[in-house]
Structures are given as structure tokens and as C-alpha cells.
Amino acid sequence: MRLAFFGDVMGRSGRHALAEHLPRLRRRLSLDFVVVNAENAAGGFGISARICDDLFDLGVDVITTGNHAFDQREELALFDREDRLLRPANFPASNPGKGAGLFRTHDDRQVLVVHLHGQRFMNPMDDPIPSLERELAQIELGREADAVIVDMHAEATSEKYCVGHYMDGRASLVVGTHTHVPTADAQVLPGGTAYQTDAGMCGDYDSVIGMEKSGPISRFVTKMPGPRLAPASGPGTVCGVYVVTDDKTGLAKSIEPIRVGGRLAESQPAPV
């Protein structure tokens, strides 16, 4: 199976970049399944129903979020009615929506997507490991699921690595989101799980992690609060990972970074 995961979509720049490049990438790489983290898609804070629909129309199969999951008021109802939109599984059980789902591909294979929220340097949440085990209790890679994708939305690289190694051999891909910078450590772990610490963002990299530069710089320099931060609006780079799995085991055969458009050096897997 050919899988792609794209990092945090940041505002209009990220949405436009994804709209420009994703349909072509889906055809060029013959992608079977696409996951996009879009927790910053609506002006940098959350996601809207319209944006959600636009992403699905582009060819996105599942949308994950993170700590900004409920920043938009309309999202509360959206998470309850849209199964393809996930919030972290270790959010309180009373929260709208769900943190995992088993989804079918166009050729009737099944992909389990699990979304987790980190604990280090972020708002306190339940331990992600019990949540992960709960979602995997009835679904095993290579049996009930042809692929398992884990989005670890976390600040600490060490926490992401721990989840990657913990899941090695039980997931097709463990990929980090949240820090908005693509890391250079794409690899297949010894047990066959593809891993990258952070997929990076889809957005304008002439920015401070996707935000227009002047606001964050002013806050660092003056130590004073300022106006609400706004996403940078220049040309966006689409960042993510491309994974090819073994059809029998569901484990990864390869992982390659994707970087297309905008300011970053381009990295595109060879066409199928």
C-alpha cells in the first residue's frame, strides 16, 4: 500500500499549497490513503466545516488535529458528525468526536488511524499509551488492519521517539506533528515501522512556525503581549512523508520525505 501523511496545515497559505500540489501527488505516487493534520487550517487556530469539506474534496481520506482541535466553536458539532475528522484519543472521553478510526481505501483495504496528544511541555492530558493500547486491543496490523498510522502530536522529540519505538512492529507509520518543522530522520525502525519525528507544516516558511514574523519577534524582544498572531501569507511548502508498505504484513518497506513548493529545498519521491 502507498500512504502519505502531511503535516500541520497552517492558514490560507497551507490550504492553497495543499490544493495546488496534493491532487498531482496523489496521481503521481498512486496513493492509496492520505492523512492530513489540519489543526491550524482556520486562520492558524482549528478547522471549520468548509475547510474540512475542501480537504476531503482534494483527496484527503482522514484529518487529524491536536491541541487546537476545539478552537473554532463550530467544531464541537463537526467532530460528532464527521467520522473522518479525529481529535486526540487521550483527550477526555467526554469531548466531542473520537481519537481513532478504521477506514476503507478505494480497493476495500482497511487503515487504522490513531491520533495522540503529547504530555511534555503541553496542556496536561491522559497518558497516550493506554489510549493507544485501547484502540489497538481489537485491531492488529496484518489481520484486521492492512495499515496502521499513528499521528503523535507532541512538543518533545524524545516523547515522539518513545512512541515510535514502542509501536515498532505494530504500526506501518508513526509520525510526529505540532512543531511545524520537518525533521531529517525519516527511517524504517528495526521492527518495520516507518518513523519521522515531525512531518513539518504545510504553510509559509518565511515565518515563525507559520505565523507572520513581526508578532512573535515583538513578544520575544519586549516580553509583552501583542495583537492576535496571524498566519504568514506567502507561498507555502507542502511537507509530509510517503510510505510504501508490504501487502502481507502491513509493515513499512520504505519512507521518504515530501517537500514541494514554497521556500524549502524540494524532495519528491520518484513516481510509481
Q: Which residues are known catalytic residues?
A: 68
Cα dist from 17 to 63, 162, 203, 227, whole Å: 16, 32, 7, 26
Strands (E), the chain: 2-6, 33-37, 62-64, 100-104, 110-117, 147-153, 173-177, 187-188, 194-196, 238-245, 252-260
Cα 134–Cα 136–Cα 239 angle in degrees, nearest 5: 110
d(CA 49, CA 194): 31
Residue 57, classified by CB atoms within 10 Å of its CB into exposed (0-12), middle (13-18) or buried (19+), is exposed
- The set of cell numbers assigned to 119 is 504530555
How many CA atoms lie within 13 Å of 160's alpha carbon, on the beta-carbon side?
A: 26
- The set of cell numbers assigned to 250 is 502491513
Picking from 139, 102, 105, the residue whose alpha carbon sits closest to that of residue 245 is 105
- With contact defined as beta carbons under 8 Å apart, do 222 and 200 qualify? no
